[in-house]
Amino acid sequence: MKSRKRIKLFLQGFVMVNVLWYIMAVIVDLHVLPTPIDVYFNLGGLYDNRLHIHILASLYRVMSGVGISLILGVSIGLLMAYSKTWNRILNPLVYFTYPVPKTALLPVVMLLFGLADASKIILIVLIVVFQVIIAVRDAVLNISPETYDPIRSLGASRLQIFRHITLPAIMPELLTNLRLSIGTALSILFFAEGYGTQLGIGYYILDAWTRIDYLGMYAGIIAISLFGFVLFVLIDILEEALCKWKA
């Protein structure tokens, strides 16, 4: 029932976007904006262009970036929620660095960590980790104290309390945050892949652009969109499995 609803939503959106695109392409009537039909017919040639290798390269960077951000962010967020001392120490740092546009640090990160994958992953982590920290800390602090009462009257250990109360209670917010993080990571990825690499969908799009291969460029855009969409669906599935109680 639910997945059918989701497929319907996807198809509706897909049709709407493509109709709009088509109308725009017809009105503008320029070489730089081909109709979706032209682009889709060209998709067949992408395998020869080794698009899948670019996708894998991007996937690796996004997954590592988001993965590391989650591990770091959840740990630090929990630390800040549980320990007043750590919250006092780390809060100014988080507060101060949160609004700094960290994409501006790309040159610094590349100078320090080289041109390879590491600098791209680090940039993603730098940006995503702060929102994870804040979301986790606030989610834990927002659990109302009486939620813990029945389990504490059972003499539960700290680990049991974490496993049965804290973790499930913050899970919905954690997943929402994962969703936001992946969206953010994809945008950063596109930006970061413009430099010092010959792999990744971001590179693929920019490369096609400079070669005036507009059909290829649009194919790349479609690929990165589908890529993001698949990740979103995966989170939907995760959400349904872990937060069934909420729906």
Partner 1 sequence: MLNIENLSVSYKSNRNNVHALGPITMKIESGDIIAILGPSGCGKSTFLHVLSGIIKDYAGQAVLNDARLNPKIHNIGFIPQNFGLLPWRSVEKNCLLSLKIKGKPYTEDVKKRVDYIINKLNIAELMDRYPRELSGGQKQRAAIARAFIMNPDLLLMDEPFSALDALTREEAQELFISLWNQYKPTTVFVTHSIEEAIYMGKKIVIMSNTPGTIAEIIENPLFNTENLRQNEEFLKLSSHIRNMIKEGWKHEIKEEN
H helices of the chain, where?
2-28, 36-42, 51-82, 84-97, 106-113, 117-141, 149-152, 158-161, 167-192, 201-210, 214-242
CA dihedral 185, 134, 130, 102 (to 10 degrees): 90
CB of 157 to partner 1, least distance (A): 8
The b-or-e profile of 157-167 (16+ CB within 10 A means b, else e) is: eeeeeeeebbe
Q: How far is the CB of 247 from partner 1 (least distance, A)?
A: 9
Site string for partner 1, 68-97 (x = CB under 8 A): ------------------------------
Q: Least distance from C-beta 177 to partner 1, angstroms? A: 18
Distances (CA, A) of 32 to 26, 28, 43, 121, 224: 12, 9, 17, 32, 19
> Which pair of structure tokens corresponds to residue 196?
């010092």
The verdict on 238 binding partner 1 (CB under 8 A) reads no
Q: If binding is defined by CB under 8 A, does position 142 make contact with partner 1? A: no
Residue 143 interacts with partner 1 (CB under 8 A): yes or no: no
Of 15, 46, 14, 12, the residue nearest 218 (C-alpha): 46
Provide the minimum distance between the beta carbon of 226 and partner 1 in the complex, in angstroms, as a whole number. Answer: 33
Q: Which of 118, 165 has the CB closer to partner 1?
A: 165
DSSP category for residue 163:
I
Residues 96-135 as x/- pattern, contact with partner 1 by CB under 8 A: ----------------------------------------
Beta carbon of residue 88, minimum distance to partner 1 (angstroms, whole number): 19
# of chain residues touching partner 1 (CB under 8 A): 21
- Give the footprint of partner 1 on residues 145-184 (CB under 8 A): 146-156, 160, 164-165, 168-169, 171
Which sign, positive or negative, has the C-alpha torsion 197, 201, 206, 211?
A: positive
The residue ranges that bind partner 1 (CB under 8 A) are 146-156, 160, 164-165, 168-169, 171, 243-246
